[in-house]
Each structure stands twice: as C-alpha cells, then as structure tokens.
Structure 1
Amino acid sequence: MLVIKNLELYMKKDLRLLLKDFNFSLISGDKVALIGEEGNGKSTLLKAIYDESLIEDYIEIKGEIFKQKEIIGYLPQKLKENILDIRVKDFLMENEDTFDYNLFYDLLRELNIEEELAYRENNIRECSGGEKIKIQLLNLMLKNPTVLLLDEPSNDLDMESIISLEKFIKNAKIPIIFVSHDEVLIENCANTIIHIEQLVRKSEPKYTISRQKYQQYLKIRDNQISATERIANKEREELDKKMDKYRKIYDKVERAQREVSRQDPNVGKNLKDKMHTVKSMGKRFEKEEENLTKRPDFEESISIKFNKENILPNGK
C-alpha cells in the first residue's frame, strides 16, 4: 500500500513551497487524476513517489512516503535520449531467458498493440507518439507493477491512441496515478481527484483530495466557492453599515468634545465617558472584521488548457 504522510516539497532555488502537509493513501481500485496549473508540482510529486533522486537536485523533500512491497512503474513525459536510441524489440525483451511470452501476448491484446510493433527493429525514436506510449506501457506492465504513475500520457496522441489509453486505464486492475490536462480522459477514467493549487500570488500551496468523478468535483467546488463568496459579501456589507454608523457617532462625540465649554465640566465628563464607550464599540468592530469569512482564494484555470507560467519546467 502506498501511503504519503506530511509530505512537503520545497524548491531549493528560492525555497518556494510546492506542497505542504500532503497526506494520501492509495487504495485498491484507485484511478487518481493529478490536476492543476503548469508549474504547481504535479510531475514533481510523481517523481517524489517513484524515486526521490530524480528531483533531489532542485527539490527539498520532507515527510514520509511508504511504498514497501510496491512495484512502481513510472511513465515520464519524455523518454531519455539514450532510451530513444534502443531498438523496440530490445527495449521490451531485456532478458529473453526469463521473458514471459504468455504475459507479453496478453498485454499486446490489452493495449491494442500490433505484434509487428513489438518486434520492430527500428529505434524507439522513429516511432510515433502513440507508439512510444504503447511501448512504454507494455515495458512497464511486463514487470508486473503493483502501482502505475503516468505523467501526461495522452500528450501528442492521436484519437485512436487516446481511446486505447483510456480503455487501458479504466480496465487496469492496479491503482494508477496520472497527470493530465485532458478533461475527457480525466472524467472517463479517474475516480479520485487530487487538485494542486498555488494561491496568494503563487506563495501558498493548497491541495484538495476528492474521491469523486471530475465533473462532480468541479460542480461541488464551484458551489462551495459561490456560497463562501455570498457569505463573505453579506458579512462585509453588514459590517460596513455598522462601521458607517460608528464613524458618524464618533465624529459627533469628538466634535462635541471640541466645542464643550471649560465652564461646564459635567458635560465634558459625560462626553469623555461616551467617547470611551464609542471607542470600545470600535474595537469590537475591529475584532469582528478580523473574524469575517474570507473571500475564497482559488486558481481559476482548471480546465483542459491551463495558463503556462514558467515556474517549474515541464516534466518537473
């Protein structure tokens, strides 16, 4: 079982916090979509789960990731150059002596891969985007993983390949965590959403875990934001009315104090007492303002196309 406890991810360059107090347990049957704007640390989280050494040059990691007995398969956004120059056949059949041909042919059917592709003598570099994804998935599944991590697997795929990928994710018997900006893929495949945001001008990380379908999550999120905004606006409006009334009383008492005759000490004392009461009222209103419902802070872009900000390079 994959369990993450109190995970924090800091960028070493500027100590910016990408993820704070992140807790999550991956359970059987989970198909988890990691969503959020570019640069919020989705790919970084996948790499932290798979192999911390992949990000240790630029990320400080705190917290615990328990993955004992898990065999984790990781599909990166881009293959390394040295792997691109390997023949397809050699990439898939690393050790022919122990190669499981029964599993191999089962996976060819499951992934809708032509046998010709699997035995191809060409280098991986010469394959199409869809073929590269299929080859990588086949390679991963031949190792009998217990968890799959897929980083934007639908990038640069044609429609046929996307349909095959969608079918694979939905039918997979093992848990999968995948990063995607493809709303259709997310809606059709994910049963859990992890939404990573950067609020307050990219200075405050926030994450939301929802064990619901994507569109349902969006609807609930929008309703919560709207409800909070209504409450915050109403509270602010009511307090503004109180403050307006308070300022008028304050100005009236202050003006009376300036105009009171020194020959009338009783009136002066009464006005002083009244000003004390008015100031106490003002302090109560200040306290009330501190406790107002805060207007919700959120990233507006959450759909298929996100704002591209060069906070983290793609794939990090």
Structure 2
Amino acid sequence: MLQIKDLTVSRARDGYPLISKLSFNLHKGDKLALIGAEGNGKTALLRVICQPELAASYLQWEGSISHKPWRLGYLEQECSQALLSQSVSDFILPYLEDADIFRQAGQLDLDPALFYVSRPLSQLSGGERMKIRLLALIMDRPDIYILDEPGNDLDLAGIAFVENLIQELQEPVLYVSLDETLLERTATGILHIEQIWRRTEARASFSGLGFRDYQKAYLYNYEKQNQLAAKAEADYQKQRRRHLEIQDKVHRDQINISRADPSGGRLLKKKTHAVKSTGRRMERQYENRIKRTDREDLLDFFLADMPGLPNDKDLLRLELEQLRVGDRLLAKDIRLHVRGNERIGLTGTNGCGKSTLLALIRDQLSERRDLS
C-alpha cells in the first residue's frame, strides 16, 4: 500500500544527509515503528511522504514514493499556527455527525462537552489537543495511518487508547515513538534511522522483528561485526608484515644475482612479479573486508547522567491553596516537599494542570541561587 524505493533525503541549505537509499513496503496490518535519536530525520521522512510541498521548502530528496490510490492520514507532532488559532468547535464540527466519535471520546477519557467550546485549540492543554486531533484523524478513516509521536502529552488513558488503536487497526500504521513500552506492545517491524561516525553518515535499517527482539539483534550484530572487523584487520596486518619480509628478501636477492649471476635474473623476475601480484590481491581483499561499524544508543534518557545532590538538600517546599488558569480552578490544597535526589512523577488527566504546576515550580526554582 505504501512503497518507498531508494529514498535519499538531505537538508536543502547544506546538503546534510538525513536518510540514505531507504527502501521498504508497508502492507495491510503492518505496524512499523520508526525509531532513532532526535534530529535524525524521522519527522523529515514523514513530511516527505505526507506533505511533499511543505517538505520541499527545506529538504531535497530523490527516489520513489508510491501510495495512490490509498489515502494517507497524517498526525503531525506539532500543530500548525493556523490550526492553533481555529476554535475547537469549528475543528471538530465536520465529524460530529458520526456517533462513533462519542464512543471514541469516552475511551480517551475526553469530555464531549469540549467539542462545543469556542476557545481556540491553542488554549487547550497539550494532551487535550492531541486527543482532539486523534479523534479527527480516526473519524477521517484514512487507508494508511502516519503518526508522529502520538503519545506526546497524553495522560494514562490517552496512552492506553493509542496502544489499543495501533494494535486493533487493520490499516497499515507507520509511527514514531520513543515510548519503549508502546513500541514493545505494538510494533510488528522496526525502521531505525541513525546518524553514525560523528553524524557524518546516514544509515537506515529495516527489520521485521518486534522492538525487544530488534534491540537484542541490533546489539549482537554490532558487537559481532566489530569483532570480525578486528580479526580481519589483525589478519591483514600479519599478512602484510610477512609480505614485506618476502618483498625485501626478493629485492636483496635481485641485487646479489645482478652482480654474481646475471643469467639467474629471468627466474627472479618471475618471482618479483608473483610477489607484486600477491600484494595487489591482498589490497583488494582488504578493501572488501568486514569493516568496523558504528552505532547510536537506541534510546538515550538523559536523567541518568545528571549530577547528584545531597540527599537531605531541600529543593522545593510548595504549599498552594488553589491552582488556577484565569477563572478555571485546576487543583487545590497542593502540598509538595522535594529533597535531594528524589524522582517524583506527576500524573493526572489531560487539562488538570500538570504543565501549569510545573511552570510554577520552574519559576520558583529559577530564583534559587544555590541551584544551577
């Protein structure tokens, strides 16, 4: 249904390579997860497939992309400014005639009353916006789903909905995610985009394995290839030293024969030719040897590298009677005490005030001179 053949993508302004000679097919029932580090070209690939006119303003590519007559449904990672300025009611109105939207909203834990508000989408929480956009995409019923980090900003109910959606869809799905649990539970194949050798070379790998099996195979193949490459290099250096010794001996014999036995020169000439031929063959084999490979971390979570703090250091004491945005009461009676190296997860439904609370905490901590 979706066919990509020999696709190479680079940035238009400087030719920086993002994707090199990528080929894959997406068929009915496939759940292909697109993984890779930030900035490796995952969104660029989806844009080239779904929005080539927009992508042409900052990307250049060659190769073939075919999906017609099948209709693509694209969930972008971020909302456009035009969409953010649109009211929720205007955005969702075309889909309200389908009663299934209310069932889907219930599974998303989204209040249908939100469908009728006149506030622009920019005034919704990130999770509420994502849920509204997911609903619109589902109601549009595309033939192929293209999802760019669909779990972003979602609460637990929303993440469970996305997981179930990907699992249950009969249509093919190509999606970006950094959520290892979601990847493990949904992916039937992996498309891994990397920037290797200090981000000078683009590499794309396609696998029909699930996420955990792909992780294991990826690390095994990486270590195995580098072991074989190290052995090939050691064998070559050993052969090269031996070849140089033979070459030096032949050269000395050539000098001695030229002086003492000119008639033996013809035999030595053949030997010299054989030594040179062996050297050329060795160099050709060396060029075609198993070469050392490079890799990126599959998923890199930065908290593990943060410097530690004394366990008894007071970081935050927050007492808040009410948390509001304008005239909306989001939460009340908040008491939060954070010390040292504690890791505290903040959970709740979309729109309940998590981001608002974090912004308040950030503002308080930014005034602390004993924290950097």
TM-score normalised according to structure 1 size: 0.83
1:3·1:67 contact (CA, 8 Å) conserved in 2?
A: yes
The 4+ residue runs of structure 1 with deviation greater than 6 A are none
Q: How does 1:232-271 map to 2 (within 5 A)?
A: 232-258=229-255, 262-266=259-263
For residue 198 of structure 1, what is the aligned residue in structure 2? 195
Q: Does 1:216 align with 2:213?
A: yes
Aligned to 1:312: none
CA distance in 2, matches of 1:282, 1:70: 57
Report the 3-state secondary structure (helix = DSSP H, G, I; strand = E; otherwise coil) of the residue aligned with 1:93: helix
Query: In the alignment, does 2:43 pair up with 1:46?
Result: no
Pick aligned residue for 2:275 from 247, 269, 278: 278
Q: Which amino acid aligns with 1:7?
A: L
For residues 231 and 209 of structure 1, what CA distance do their matches in structure 2 show?
A: 22
CA distance in 2, matches of 1:157, 1:64: 35
Change (3 A) 1:148 1:304: farther
Deviation at 1:33, TM superposition (A): 0.9
Deviation at 1:92, TM superposition (A): 0.8
8 A contact 1:197–1:298 mirrored in 2: no
For residue 73 of structure 1, report the CA deviation from its aligned partner.
1.8
Report which stretch shifted further, 157-166 or 32-41. Answer: 157-166
Structure 2: gaps spanning 5 or more residues: 303-372
Q: Distance in 2 between matches of 1:154 and 1:64?
A: 30
Please give the secondary structure, in 2, of the residue aligned with 1:69. Answer: coil
Q: Is the 8 A contact 1:181 1:305 kept in 2?
A: no
Tell me, yes or no, if the aligned pair for 2:105 and 2:111 is still in contact at 8 Å: yes
Shift of the 278–14 alpha-carbon distance from structure 1 to 2, 3 Å rule, reads: same
Q: Which amino acid is the alignment partner of residue 298 of structure 1?
A: D
Question: 1:138 and 1:61 mapped to 2: Cα distance?
Answer: 32
Q: One-letter code of the match for 1:291?
A: N
Q: Is the alpha carbon distance of 1:247 and 1:162 closer, same or farther for their aligned partners in structure 2, counting shifts above 3 Å?
A: same
Q: Does the aligned pair in 1 maintain the 2:37–2:299 contact within 8 Å?
A: no
Aligned: 1:103 with 2:100:
yes
SS in 1 for 2:291: coil
Name the counterpart of 2:367. Answer: none
Q: CA RMSD in A?
A: 2.7
**Structure 1 residues 52-93: Cα deviation after superposition (integer angstroms, max 9, x where no partner):** 112111122333322223232211111122322333222211
How far apart are 1:215 and its partner, in Å?
1.0
SS state at 1:262 partner: helix
Aligned residues: 302
1:301 aligns with 2:309: no
CA distance in 1, matches of 2:94, 2:248: 85
User: Does structure 1 residue 37 correspond to structure 2 residue 37?
Assistant: yes
Q: Gapped runs of 5+ residues in structure 1?
A: 307-316
Aligned residue in 2 for 1:13: 13
Question: What is the Cα deviation at residue 235 of structure 1?
Answer: 2.5
Among the aligned pairs, what percent are the same residue?
36
1:151 is aligned to 148
Matches within 5 A, 1:79-158: 79-94=79-94, 99-158=96-155
The verdict on how the C-alpha distance between 1:256 and 1:217 changes in structure 2, with shifts beyond 3 A counting, is: same
TM-score, structure 2 as length reference? 0.72
CA distance in 2, matches of 1:198, 1:144: 35
- Farther off after superposition, 213-222 or 77-86: 77-86
**Contact 1:181–1:304 (8 Å) recurs in 2:** no
Cα distance change on mapping 1:125 and 1:258 into 2, 3 Å:
same
Measured at CA, do residues 69 and 105 of structure 1 come closer, stay the same or move farther in structure 2, by a change above 3 Å?
farther
**Where do 1:67-78 residues align within 5 Å?**
67-78=67-78
Task: Kindly provide the amino acid, as one letter, of the partner of residue 251 in structure 1.
Answer: D
Counterpart contact for 1:83–1:124, Cα < 8 Å? yes
CA deviation profile, 1:101-125 (whole Å, cap 9, x unmatched): 4122232134332223333443322
Question: Contact (CA 8 Å) 2:191, 2:204: kept in 1 or not?
Answer: yes
SS at match of 1:292: coil
Cross-structure match for 2:172:
175
